[in-house]
Amino acid sequence: MYSALAFGLLAAAKVASADQQPIVGTPKGDVHQLGKGTFDDFVKTNDLVLAEFYAPWCGHCKALAPEYEEAATTLKEKDIKLAKVDCTEEQDLCQTYGVEGYPTLKIFRGVDNITPYSGQRKADAITSFMIKQSLPAVSLLSADTIEDFKTADKVVLVAYVDPSDKSANETYTATAEQLRDSYLFGATNDATLAEAEGVTAPAIVLYKQFDEGKSTFTDKFDKDAILAFVKTASTPLIGEVGPETYSGYMSAGIPLAYIFAETPEERTELGEALKPVAEKFRGKVNFATIDAKSFGAHAGNLNLPTDKFPSFAIQETVKNQKFPFDSEKELTADAISSFVEDFSAGKIEPSLKSEPIPETQEGAVTVVVGKSYEDIVLDDTKDVLIEFYAPWCGHCKALAPKYEDLASLYANSEFKDKVVIAKVDATANDVPDEIQGFPTIKLYAAGAKSEPVDYSGPRTVDDLIKFVKENGKYQAEVAEKTEEETPVAPAATEAAGEDHDEL
């Protein structure tokens, strides 16, 4: 099978200049089935590839299959290739590309430029999304087109560059490639347009339909500097947390201050009142209102009451710490300002939701709670395997007896003081980890507490032992007494909590 595919690729190289399409992968459809031996070459020889990572048993994958085929056929004419990888056959390949759930769709421009597919899983949507991807990331603008372009979206960027300034052009284009799914990018080398805008090339103007209307970047063109500029300038001074914006705020790398209120009027009013403090902390703390009628449950995640609004909390998004503003106190602009000042000065302790620390440990698995997390999980002398679970999660229940067996094996071995098998109910306890699905299993190895290793293999006692052995400081191996277990489907997880579904 591999040799046939490899041959197909060799043939592809030979006939590259001819019109004829070489056949690589499944001969029946237009989706290319790829594996370890073929994937990288395929991605390198095709400029734009959409790849689906799937498992044969996954329902969403089955639903996607005919849509994906149809899109592949339509896109064939445009020379955009659709590929698929069966992760039950190609575990290494799927791990290399960070596949955590099925199906995962990623856009490849070579093996180094990979972006997630963020469109819908329908043939039409896939087709139009990928056609847009195939167009240049930067539109060249002229006096005739620039005005319309400035208002073509909520946020657009225009670079004013000198025709001879190749480096500015390249840096800007590379940035645009990276952010092309989020914003429209245009550029012009017409000096009169720069003059009309009142800027000197090279400069970037970000036009936005909110706040001050535009922001200008005049520093040296450097990709990281431009990325940082775009992030700050495109974020409204007082934004709104909702399903479309939540993940952006969580990945922004700075804390998010939530203003919960039930009516639009109240949100506007509070937003206005907090503008000066938001302005003061711009680029350091994001501020956003949130509809407490629709997303009131999220207040609970910030350790605020879920039935008392308006309210306010800051979330430290990197360490995932919560700083709720005392809900008994009156919510005034002054009180919030000093709260944010104190937070920023490190004067406020994060609030920690925790079950009581158990007086005795009943089973072999060590029960961790919010208050004991640091003492147990971050104990630098021990390899700690920790499972983050939810009481309602079926996969967690299925794992429980095996996990108990695993813990017993270690507890009755020479490694009983070196390896801890632990679990924490992540719905009832605050943990520093951002948990996306249940169960999540991580190893905090002794001496390497800042670099926990995620477990994504099959959930069998045997595989977990291997994992602890390979990644732990003590290379602790225990022998499993039981018969070989039937293999379990790899790492299916359940979404973490109601609020994450909504937001």
Ligand X SMILES: *[C@@H]1O[C@H](CO)[C@@H](O)[C@H](O)[C@H]1NC(C)=O
Contacts with ligand X by CB under 6 A lie at 140, 161, 163, 169, 187-189
- Strands (DSSP E) found in 176-232: 184-188, 203-208, 214-217
Choice between 89 and 147, CB closer to ligand X: 147
Q: CA–CA separation, 272 vs 405, rounded Å?
A: 57
Choice between 194 and 465, CB closer to ligand X: 194
396 catalytic? Reply is yes
Choice between 141 and 241, CB closer to ligand X: 141
The residue annotated as part of the active site, out of 9, 31, 51, 61, is: 61
In the complex, minimum distance from the CB of residue 151 to ligand X, in angstroms, rounded to a whole number: 20
Question: Dihedrals φ, ψ of 476, to 5°?
Answer: -75, 120
Contact 187, 223 (CB under 8 A): no
Contact 428, 393 (CB under 8 A): no
In the complex, minimum distance from the CB of residue 169 to ligand X, in angstroms, rounded to a whole number: 4
Q: CA–CA separation, 235 vs 215, rounded Å?
A: 11
Choice between 116 and 163, CB closer to ligand X: 163
Q: CA–CA separation, 1 vs 4, rounded Å?
A: 5
In the complex, minimum distance from the CB of residue 133 to ligand X, in angstroms, rounded to a whole number: 18
61 catalytic? Reply is yes
The residue annotated as part of the active site, out of 11, 58, 237, 252, is: 58
In the complex, minimum distance from the CB of residue 158 to ligand X, in angstroms, rounded to a whole number: 10
Helix (H) or strand (E) holding 92: helix 91-96
- Crossing angle of helices 394-411 and 461-471, rounded to 10°: 60
The residue annotated as part of the active site, out of 87, 155, 230, 396, is: 396
- Crossing angle of helices 59-76 and 123-134, rounded to 10°: 50
In the complex, minimum distance from the CB of residue 188 to ligand X, in angstroms, rounded to a whole number: 6
Q: Is 172 exposed, middle or buried (0-12, 13-18, 19+ CB in 10 A)?
A: buried
Choice between 61 and 168, CB closer to ligand X: 168
Choice between 188 and 215, CB closer to ligand X: 188
In the complex, minimum distance from the CB of residue 75 to ligand X, in angstroms, rounded to a whole number: 25
Radius of gyration, CA atoms only, the chain: 26
Q: In whole angstroms, what separates CA 471 from the centre of its chain? A: 24
Contact 97, 56 (CB under 8 A): no
Q: CA–CA separation, 154 vs 312, rounded Å?
A: 27
- Structure-token pair, residue 134: 């195939």
Choice between 160 and 343, CB closer to ligand X: 160
Contact 199, 205 (CB under 8 A): yes
The residue annotated as part of the active site, out of 87, 157, 393, 496, is: 393
The sheet with strand 419-425 has its strands ordered as 366-368, 419-425, 383-389, 440-444, 453-454
In the complex, minimum distance from the CB of residue 218 to ligand X, in angstroms, rounded to a whole number: 17
**Catalytic residue annotation:** 58, 61, 393, 396
